[in-house]
Amino acid sequence: IFIVDAKTSNILYVNRQACINLGYTKNELLNLNIITIDPAIGGKIGWTKFVKLLKKKESYLFPGIHKRKNKTRFPVEVNVKYIHGGENNYFIAIARDVTREKYIQEKLQKTLNYLDSIFKNLPVGLAIMEGPEFVYKRINQPLADINGVSIADHIERPLKEVLPQAAKVILPNLRKVRTTGETISNRNIKVTLPSNPQKTLHLIDYHFPIRVGKEIKAIGAVVIDITKQKEAEQKIIEESALKDFFIDVIRHDLLNPMGYVRTMSKMVMEQETNPETKQRLKDIYENSEVMIQVVENARAYSSMKQNEKLSFSKLDLSGIVQSEINILQLLAQQKNMNLRLTMPKKLTVKANPLIKSVFANILHNAIKHGDENTIIGVKLIQNKQKWKFIVINHGPLIPDKDKKDIFVRFKRLIGEGSAKGSGLGLAIVKGVVERHSGEVYVKDYMKKGSKFIVEVPIHPKI
For the segment 415-451, what is each residue's pLDDT rounded down to a tens digit? 444 444 445 788 889 988 998 999 999 999 988 899 9
pLDDT at 409: 62
55-69, pLDDT tens digit by residue?
777 688 889 999 999
**120-144 b/e with 16+ CB inside 10 Å = b?**
eeeeebbbbbbeeebbbebbbebbb
155-186, pLDDT tens digit by residue?
999 999 999 888 888 999 999 999 999 999 88
DSSP 333-394: HHTT-EEEEE--S--EEEE-TTHHHHHHHHHHHHHHHSPTT-EEEEEEEE-SSEEEEEEEEE
**Fold for domain 2-100?**
Beta-Lactamase (3.30.450)
15-64, pLDDT tens digit by residue?
999 999 999 999 999 999 999 999 888 776 788 888 887 777 768 888 99
The matching CATH number, chosen from 3.40.50.800, 3.40.50.2300, 3.30.450.20, 3.90.1570.30, for 122-225 is 3.30.450.20
> Strand 375-382 to strand 338-342: parallel, antiparallel, or no bridges (unpaired)?
parallel
Q: How far apart are the first and last CA of the chain?
A: 84
Which residues of the chain are modeled with pLDDT < 70? 44, 58, 245-253, 297-308, 409-423, 462
pLDDT at 310: 77
Domain residues of the chain, as ranges? 2-100, 122-225, 227-308, 309-462
Residue 398 near residue 378 (C-beta atoms within 8 A): no
Ramachandran quadrant class, 132 (left: phi over 0; alpha: psi -120 to 50; beta: rest): alpha
Residue 330 near residue 397 (C-beta atoms within 8 A): no
pLDDT at 298: 67
pLDDT at 420: 47
Residue 462 DSSP class:
-
pLDDT at 180: 93
Q: Do domains 122-225 and 309-462 have the same CATH topology?
A: no
CB neighbourhood size of 407 (10 A): 19
Helices and strands counted in the chain (H then E): 14, 17
- Report the percentage of the chain scoring pLDDT > 70: 90
d(CA 80, CA 297): 94
d(CA 32, CA 45): 19
Secondary-structure class of domain 309-462 per CATH:
alpha beta
> Strand 348-351 to strand 196-212: parallel, antiparallel, or no bridges (unpaired)?
unpaired
pLDDT at 376: 96
Kind plus residue range of the DSSP H or E element containing 207: strand 196-212
pTM of the shown model: 0.48
CB neighbourhood size of 267 (10 A): 12
d(CA 29, CA 22): 9
